[in-house]
Chain A
Amino acid sequence: MLEVMDVTKTFKERTAVSRVNVFIEKGEIVGLLGPNGAGKSTTISMISSLVAPTEGEIYAGGYSVKKDRTHIRRMIGVVPQEIALFQDLTAKENLRFFGRAYKLKGKLLQERVRYVLDIVGLTDRAGELVKTYSGGMKRRLNIAVALLHEPELLIMDEPTVGIDPQSRSYILETVRELNRTKNMTIIYTSHYMEEVEYLCDRVYIMDHGEIIAAGTKRELKAMLMEEDSIVVTLSRSAGDIAEVLEKREDITRVYTSGNEAVIAAKKDAPVLEAVIQWTRDAGVDIQSVEVRSPSLEDVFLHLTGRTLRE
């Protein structure tokens, strides 16, 4: 369905994307995960033929992005990271406009507009100006536009940035539903782990323009099979706990942020004692301790030493 082969994009001096490989089968939901500036949007722009790769090849449905732009564009629907809508037109007017851009007309156009409005749950508000919409409603309409021409491949670039939990779960359900009922192939970009974890079969993790890990969720987490994550919340700043604990053999990494310390330790290692010892010495109280199996967030932490939203 989609093959991104050794693709590199250089803007003047800066390499935004470097030798990226992505392969996606029909009907998959694949996550593209990475912090700000990782190169996610640039990769998507290349797939959707808006930006030409400096090096490498991209094929979608057998068409080359370089040679068969028209075909590729017909095949894919792109939900841009930005709200790409006319703010002073109504939802319906926006949909009609973009529908016509996709060469839809008459009855078919009407039907498609009604259908996508229904999918994103905006039928009741379709006659209102987009600028009067809430952030979540705009995001939903942003998705609806990309669905008008029934794309085989839907590429969503952070479709849930900055919206309320209700709209977010609505969108997540919509994506799932599209995949399940229409067998739509979906690339879902986010820096929210939970979303990717919930939706995607496979995940590509990007950082600094490179794919640093790829695989199914299970495969990725297997990297951390030998580890436990212990999350300790303290009564005050976690301070120098990392320095002290990382000296130990059975602790791979300590990540602190505010009052919280995430400790990656060998499975079943007796690290709690060490933590309690440290808090006594430092005169800090422990407010909670949680031992959890590794998440994608931990995978990212493991790979880069940073959290995704850092």
Chain B
Amino acid sequence: MFWTMLAKEIKQLLRERSELLTLLLMPIILITILGSALQGMMSPGAAGAGNLETAVVMEGTLDESLLQLQEHLASEGMPPEAQEALLEEAEQVSVPEMFAEMLASLEAEGVLSVEVLDEAGASTEAYDGVWYFDETYREQTWRQMLLQEELPDPVAVEASGQFGIIEGITDAFFNELNWQKEAAYLASLEEEAVPEPVQTEVEIQQLDNRSAITSFDYYTAGMAVMFVLYTATFLASTAHTERRSYVFHRLLTSNVPMWMYLAGKGGAGVLLALVQLAVIFSFSSLVFGVSFQHAGLTAVIAAGLALTVGSLAMLLTAVNYRLRNEQASALFASAGITMLAFLGGSFFNVSQLSETVAAIGRLLPNGAAMQSLLAVMGGAGAGLIYPMLLSISVFCLLCAGAALLVFPRKEGL
């Protein structure tokens, strides 16, 4: 009977065009839209934030660089008062120092941890991301920005680890810097020359074998863990229809035990979710080149998600039966899933908003699964999925237990 029920759910789903649209087409469309729109714009702390270890390597000190600048100004024959003023300004806008300052404030927010090193050649193996500023960097950027000298762009070297967070931070910083320069220019229009944007060429190097997360990776994970939940609400809503149309009563009079009915819903949830994930993942992989790095781990995560969907389908079915309407599953579909997706980081990384909220999100099965997927996409090892397994096991047990408690025994079906 179990398999008969599974087969029935699948047949029904295949004939429900609007449901198919929600379950398969919507996530694919959203991955395409969000992935393309936010391509290369992954903001700081886009994912996996919190335990990123970074380092800034600055060759030479600020004072040394100021001295060099002064020598340069003197050789250009600038009067001493003007030199004084310019040096003061230069001290304020030293790019490596500003960059380190920004990292320090990110550290204060708990996004990452940063160490400032003063010597190249320091071991960088231990970090998820490292930025190098060589000893000529300060002077070169000053001459570009303050003297409008035409110089080749200074080069900042960025070694990037996982999650695309490193590029994100670099982009955000230099965009901000240019924006400030332009704003300053607009505020003082008597200056003639348009300030030169700081063109920093960023060279990206791969750090060990971990790879960067693209926006397509991010939203494949985000949308998959979100839309898979709609399978549970679909099943709960067909369950409601089955009660209303007395199909369920018919099953009871044919001696199908009640638990079998619930189990059928759960099993269908697991199966449909697996199929759904397989479709979404295959699509992203084929069209956007999303790489899951480790097939086995991806399968484990998918299985965990599928179990989540199965137990959720059971719980929602049971609640619908208990309340004798489908408000519970409808509410979950309209508000609950969006909320879970938001907390879990399906739309953007909530740790930008609040670290507490993000921590809650990581406890949710969808959030946990998403983090694990991103970790696997970033090339992390099996260790990263243990928290997810724990979170999902607890969630499934709670749901299934609650479903059995809530499902009406016999009276008043």
B251 nearest CB across to chain A (Å):
6
- Chain B residues numbered 233-254 whose CB sits less than 8 Å from any CB in chain A: 242, 245-247, 249-254
Given A73-B253, A80-B246, decide whether A100 and B1 contact each other with a Cβ distance below 8 A.
yes
Which partner residue on chain B sits nearest A155 by CB separation?
A: B253
B254 touches A85 (CB 8 A): no
Interface presence of A33 (CB below 8 A): no
Given the complex, which residues of B lie within 8 Å of A102, measured CB to CB? 254-255
Interface presence of B413 (CB below 8 A): yes
A89 touches B246 (CB 8 A): no
A89 touches B11 (CB 8 A): yes
Given the complex, which residues of B lie within 8 Å of A118, measured CB to CB? none
A78 touches B411 (CB 8 A): no
- Chain B residues numbered 254-270 whose CB sits less than 8 Å from any CB in chain A: 254-256
Given A52-B410, A84-B245, decide whether A89 and B12 contact each other with a Cβ distance below 8 A.
yes
Given the complex, which residues of B lie within 8 Å of A149, measured CB to CB? 254
Given the complex, which residues of A lie within 8 Å of B252, measured CB to CB? 50, 73
A119 nearest CB across to chain B (Å):
18
Interface presence of B81 (CB below 8 A): no
- Chain B residues numbered 340-391 whose CB sits less than 8 Å from any CB in chain A: none
Given A93-B11, A101-B4, decide whether A86 and B254 contact each other with a Cβ distance below 8 A.
no
Given A73-B255, A101-B256, decide whether A80 and B16 contact each other with a Cβ distance below 8 A.
no
B246 touches A101 (CB 8 A): no
Interface presence of B8 (CB below 8 A): yes
Bound-state CA distance A85–B8 (Å) is 12
- Chain B residues numbered 1-47 whose CB sits less than 8 Å from any CB in chain A: 1, 4, 8, 11-12, 15-16
Interface presence of A223 (CB below 8 A): no
Bound-state CA distance A87–B249 (Å) is 16
- Chain A residues numbered 73-90 whose CB sits less than 8 Å from any CB in chain B: 73-74, 76, 78, 80-89
Bound-state CA distance A49–B256 (Å) is 13
A158 nearest CB across to chain B (Å):
13
Given the complex, which residues of A lie within 8 Å of B251, measured CB to CB? 98, 101
State the interface size on chain A (CB cutoff 8 A).
Answer: 31
* Size range of the chain B interface in the assembly: 20 to 34
Bound-state CA distance A11–B412 (Å) is 9
Interface presence of A97 (CB below 8 A): yes
- Chain A residues numbered 85-130 whose CB sits less than 8 Å from any CB in chain B: 85-89, 93, 97-98, 100-103, 129
Given A80-B246, A82-B245, A85-B247, decide whether A50 and B253 contact each other with a Cβ distance below 8 A.
yes
Given A89-B11, A100-B1, decide whether A51 and B255 contact each other with a Cβ distance below 8 A.
no
Which partner residue on chain A sits nearest B256 by CB separation?
A: A101
Which partner residue on chain B sits nearest A129 by CB separation?
A: B15
B250 touches A76 (CB 8 A): no
Interface presence of A48 (CB below 8 A): yes
Interface presence of A145 (CB below 8 A): yes
Bound-state CA distance A87–B15 (Å) is 11
Given the complex, which residues of B lie within 8 Å of A80, measured CB to CB? 246, 249-250
Interface presence of A287 (CB below 8 A): no
Given A51-B411, A52-B411, decide whether A85 and B255 contact each other with a Cβ distance below 8 A.
no
Given the complex, which residues of B lie within 8 Å of A76, measured CB to CB? 253
Which partner residue on chain A sits nearest B254 by CB separation?
A: A101
Interface presence of A235 (CB below 8 A): no
Which partner residue on chain B sits nearest A77 by CB separation?
A: B253
Bound-state CA distance A103–B256 (Å) is 9
Bound-state CA distance A49–B411 (Å) is 10
A48 touches B253 (CB 8 A): yes
B8 touches A70 (CB 8 A): no
A309 nearest CB across to chain B (Å):
23
B326 nearest CB across to chain A (Å):
16
Given A50-B252, A101-B254, decide whether A85 and B1 contact each other with a Cβ distance below 8 A.
no
Partner of B245, one of A48, A83, A103: A83
Partner of B246, one of A52, A74, A84, A93: A84
Which partner residue on chain B sits nearest A96 by CB separation?
A: B4
Partner of A88, one of B1, B15, B246, B411: B15
Which partner residue on chain B sits nearest A101 by CB separation?
A: B254
Given the complex, which residues of B lie within 8 Å of A101, measured CB to CB? 1, 4, 250-251, 254-256
Given the complex, which residues of A lie within 8 Å of B411, measured CB to CB? 51-52
Given the complex, which residues of B lie within 8 Å of A98, measured CB to CB? 250-251, 254
Over the window 214-254 of chain A, the binary record of Cβ atoms lying under 8 Å from chain B Cβ atoms (1 yes, 0 no) is 00000000000000000000000000000000000000000
Which partner residue on chain A sits nearest B247 by CB separation?
A: A84
Over the window 277-316 of chain B, the binary record of Cβ atoms lying under 8 Å from chain A Cβ atoms (1 yes, 0 no) is 0000000000000000000000000000000000000000
Bound-state CA distance A74–B256 (Å) is 11
A86 touches B8 (CB 8 A): yes
Which partner residue on chain B sits nearest A89 by CB separation?
A: B11
Which partner residue on chain B sits nearest A72 by CB separation?
A: B253
A-B contact pairs, 5 of them (CB 8 A): A48-B253, A70-B255, A74-B255, A84-B245, A149-B254
Give the interface of A toward B (CB within 8 A).
11, 48-52, 70, 73-74, 76, 78, 80-89, 93, 97-98, 100-103, 129, 145, 149
Extra contacts, 11 of them, besides A73-B254, A84-B246, A85-B247 (Cβ < 8 A), are A11-B412, A73-B252, A82-B245, A84-B249, A84-B250, A89-B8, A89-B11, A89-B15, A93-B11, A98-B250, A101-B256
